[in-house]
Structures are given as C-alpha cells and as structure tokens.
Amino acid sequence: MSKQIPQNYTDTNFEMSHKSTEDDEIDLRELFAVIWQGKWLIIAITAVFAVGSVLFALSQPNTYKSEALLSPADSEQSGGLSALAGQFGGLASMAGINLGGGGGVDKTQMAIEVAKSRQFTSQFIQKHKILADLMAAETWNMEADSISYDPELYDAQNQEWVREVNAPFKPEPSMQEAFKEFSQLISISTDKETGMVKVAVEHLSPTVAQQWVTWLIEDINLEMKQRDVAEAQRSTEFLQNQIAQTNVADIRTILYQLIEEQTKTIMFAEVRDEYVFKTIDPALVPEEKSGPKRALICVLGTMLGGMLAIMIVLIRHFVKKED
C-alpha cells in the first residue's frame, strides 16, 4: 500500500528549490552588476597593463637564431674490434685481455651529451673568448655589425668586468654562470625518425649566432676525435706491453691484429675533419629575427591586466558587503 506524501511537504520543497534558483540568478545578476559598476576601474587597470606590455615588448632587443643540420658520420673504423672480440674473445681472455663486445654507447649521442657538458662549454667559452658577448651583450648595431655591452657589467674600452655582485661571485662571471646562460641560448636536438641532428644558437647578433654554431660543430668533432685517438694510443701501448710479456703465438697474433685496428682508428681520425658529424646544411647568418614575440607579449599583458582588474573589483565589493 503506497504512502501518500503530504501536499504541504511537496509545496515546501518546491518553494525551497525555486528560492535557490532565484538566489543563483540574483548572485549572477549581482556579479555582472558589480563588474559593470567598476567598469571604469577595470578599463583603467587594463589600459595601464596594455601600455606597459607594449613598452616592455618594444624595449626588448631582437634576437636571431642560426641553425645547422648535421648527419652522423659513418663509423668506418668500428666493427673490426668487435669482430676480433667475437672470434678470439675466449682465447684472449686466457691472457687476461678484455676485448669488449659489439655494444656500447652510441657515438653520436655521446657527442651531443659532451657538447652539452659543463667542461666542454667552459673550454668553448674560454677558447673563443666569448664571455663578454655571452654575459654582457646589450644591443646589436646592424649597420656596423657590432655589439654594444651593458656599461654596468662590462667596460668594453678597457676590456674589464665592472659588475657589482656579492660574494662568492666576482665581477668577472664564473664558468658556472656562463654555462647556465649558454645553455639557454643553445639547442641540440635529434630527429628520432631520420637520425639527423640540428644545432641552433640564438643571440642578439646574427653574425655571432652563425659563428657560434660553426665553432660548436668544429669543436665537438675535434673533441671526439682527440678522445678516440688518445684512447687508441693508450690501447696500443697496453697491447705492445702484452706482446712483450707473452710467448704464445696465437695470443701474439691476436694482439698484433688489435694493434692494427687501433692504428686504423688513429689514421681514420687524422684524415677526417668531420669525425662525428657531417654538415648537411651549414649555419647561415639569419636575416629575420626569431624573437621576441611582441604581439604575444602585448596580448598576454592586456589579458593579465583585465583579469587582475576584475578580481580587484569583485574583492572590493565582497569586502564592503561583509562589513
């Protein structure tokens, strides 16, 4: 048997629901009314932010990006040592010699990580004497193709750092500071599908950007070449010492073949300048700026001012209402 709901109960619920809906509508109306009442304050604050964002965008100097497309060089010298390891690994282990396997770190990826390292970056900055262009450049003169430096940081006439900093920092930026700044200007990326490597540098001067990209490619090729040559020379010395200490003919044959492989590595490195990376598309002096995005700065600044102004108006209204 169904229980009958009292009529006054349903009427009460309907009235409460209707009242809640009316309250929501009143709140929305009140909200828009408050915004409309404070429209002049909103317009004023938004205008201030709009003008400020325009002035800020115009005060930012142009930056230029130079890029180079590289292809990993063929490792023609690799494979011989791995073949010997597979053929004579067991016999060589009897003599206490580890020939290694065919695996290992990809040389291209290693070169990229070396180029991003603190040690390589510090050597690069000091070798090419680019610390002032990196840390104190303020503007670029297009007609003279010259860089103007911030006088509060660097005295270009006397080539002396004059910036005022607190300890442990010194007037001349440290390599740790330079590394952080350089890391923001350089980008090295690899296309996973093609394996191509792109090196890019962004700077106030398009000439400097192009020069740095060229130097980076040359220096990383030279660095990896020197590392492999030094390793091959150390391996050759070790193998020669092992030959002098053994009389087993088979072991001596293996060691001579290993020395031959190390000699090939050294020869390959000496005759090839593009040791790790081959330049497919060299870096050019860019003619068009890459930044800043002045229109985007103005739009975001104006939107931020508008939202902040609306928040201020609403907060003021509800604070007064509670009082």
User: Are 52 and 189 found together in one domain?
Assistant: no
Q: What is the pLDDT of residues 194-212, one digit of tens each?
A: 889 999 999 999 999 999 9
Give the range of the structural domain holding residue 164, as residue numbers without chain letter.
64-281
| DSSP code per residue over 155-192 | ETTTTEE-----TT--SSPPHHHHHHHHHHHEEEEE-T
Q: Is the residue at 49 inside a domain?
A: yes
Q: Are 181 and 134 in contact (CB under 8 A)?
A: yes
The Cα 46–Cα 320 span in angstroms is: 23
Sheet holding 277-281: strands in order across?
186-190, 197-203, 64-72, 277-281
Q: What is the pTM of this model?
A: 0.74
Q: What percentage of residues in the chain have a pLDDT greater than 90?
A: 44
Count of the separate structural domains present in the chain:
2
The Cα 177–Cα 159 span in angstroms is: 19
pLDDT beyond 80 at 179: yes
DSSP conformation class of 105? -
Q: Is the residue at 1 inside a domain?
A: no
Closest CA to 304 of 53, 110, 133: 53
pLDDT bucket at 6, cuts 50 / 70 / 90 = low
pLDDT bucket at 7, cuts 50 / 70 / 90 = low
| DSSP code per residue over 273-288 | SSSSEEEEE-----SS
Residue-level pLDDT at 80:
47
Residue-level pLDDT at 258:
84
Which runs of E-coded beta strand occur in 33-74?
64-72
User: Are 77 and 211 found together in one domain?
Assistant: yes
User: Are 122 and 231 found together in one domain?
Assistant: yes
Only one residue has tokens 């090839």, namely 272
User: Are 30 and 148 found together in one domain?
Assistant: no
Only one residue has tokens 């492999």, namely 228
For the ranges 16-30, 50-64, 116-130, the one whose mean pLDDT is highest: 116-130
pLDDT bucket at 88, cuts 50 / 70 / 90 = low
User: Are 199 and 230 found together in one domain?
Assistant: yes
Tokens of 101: 């396997």
Residue-level pLDDT at 232:
85
Q: Are 99 and 85 in contact (CB under 8 A)?
A: yes
Q: Are 9 and 261 in contact (CB under 8 A)?
A: no
User: Are 15 and 163 found together in one domain?
Assistant: no
